[in-house]
Structure 1
Amino acid sequence: MTSKAQKLRAKRKAQLGRPRKANAERFACGKIRPEWSRQESEKEAMAVALAARKRMHGLDTTSAFAGYTLGRLFLDGRITAEQREAGDDYAAAMARYYHLNGIPYPSVRAQALDRVAGHPGETSEERARMALKAADRMMRLEGVLAGCEEGRQVKTTIFNVCVMDYEGLRLMPEPQLAWLRRGLNALIFDKGLREYGEGGASFEQR
């Protein structure tokens, strides 16, 4: 049985020293990592990433556009800023459709490997409405691309660049690049119709 004196000694021992810092980043030995050390580590990680990007893609830039195929095509000068933005909007719409409808995102490169199974379909009325709206938008965009001249090739090229993010398509030949531009221009036109009405200014596909 613990005596009163032993309890008092244990209490005093527990009060010695400063309390342990919560959520502090530490070295492997347990010592707290100082702020300047964290900053240096971030700089080193960034330098390694930029060196790898330059070695793999020939791009010496910190731009976020260098991180995916459509952005690299933009940095290469093969598509315009408006076309890149249209491709980004298409990719975002497709990602939203997959997420809300519980469909696995098709490109493993675009997500964590432990989440390739997708997400469970939502059952609430509000989320069901959002999922239906996302599906409607996806079908509209698919119809826009399929309605282009050589629509099948245009639709496939847009999907492979913007959603699948295939790096090899950065070096696509001119005929395939023409399909990409045609699809992106159609997406720009469709966005203009939705934002400014069906009576908007005419659009010339490039």
Structure 2
Amino acid sequence: MTFVQIIDCKTSRVEDLNRLMDQWVERTRGKRTATHSIVGTDRSDASHVVEIVEFPSYEVAMRNSQLPETDRIFREMVALCDEMPTFTDLDVVRDEALYKAAARRLLEMIATEPELALLDEVLAEGYHDHDPTNAQDAIGMDAVRREVAMWREGFDFAFTVEDQIAEGDRVCTRWTWKGTHTGDFMGLQPTGIEVSMTGTLIHRFREDGKIVEGWWQYDLLGLMGRIGAVEA
């Protein structure tokens, strides 16, 4: 679960504090585990400074705090502040930007990840996949892996994400799929034909950022027509 730490302090030496933050980044280069940080000043009180630092998890943040460079920077930070800084530790329960990144990552993994077992990095156990071209929904990791394997056996393909919209626990992704028919697909022997199609995929996420449900929309009939399986 993503972890965020909020550092709240009062100082009349904001520029010195900014330089100290730059030194922290430089001194911990290659060792620092923070993925993102923001520093802001209060519009109604310029001496009130808030830093928001994001980490992949609480455990990773604790490793960062144990760096000797972090300890030295903290002592220098206290010296610049008018009073002792306060720290608020937050487990992130919803982050729409992370949801969008996970949706993109899933499409990338479907196309290129050699170890399909790793799909559980983004999919929850019991994931429910709705595909109107299938007689039955794929439910659970084994069913999803079989579905992905079927497409991989038939095509060498990749996705391009065209648009994404996130709201609440849902992400809608509009994608373009391009592939070459290199193997057996639904009983049709390989033709070597290059094909493409567009579609949308809506994902529902749970609080820990894993995907629990997905709804696909794409033109399978048109694809089958282009590789000669049905009349175009």
Greater Cα radius of gyration, structure 1 or 2: 1
For the criterion TM > 0.5, the same-fold answer is no
- TM-score (normalizing by structure 1): 0.27
More strand by share: 2
From the two aligned structures, give the one with the greater helix fraction. Answer: 1
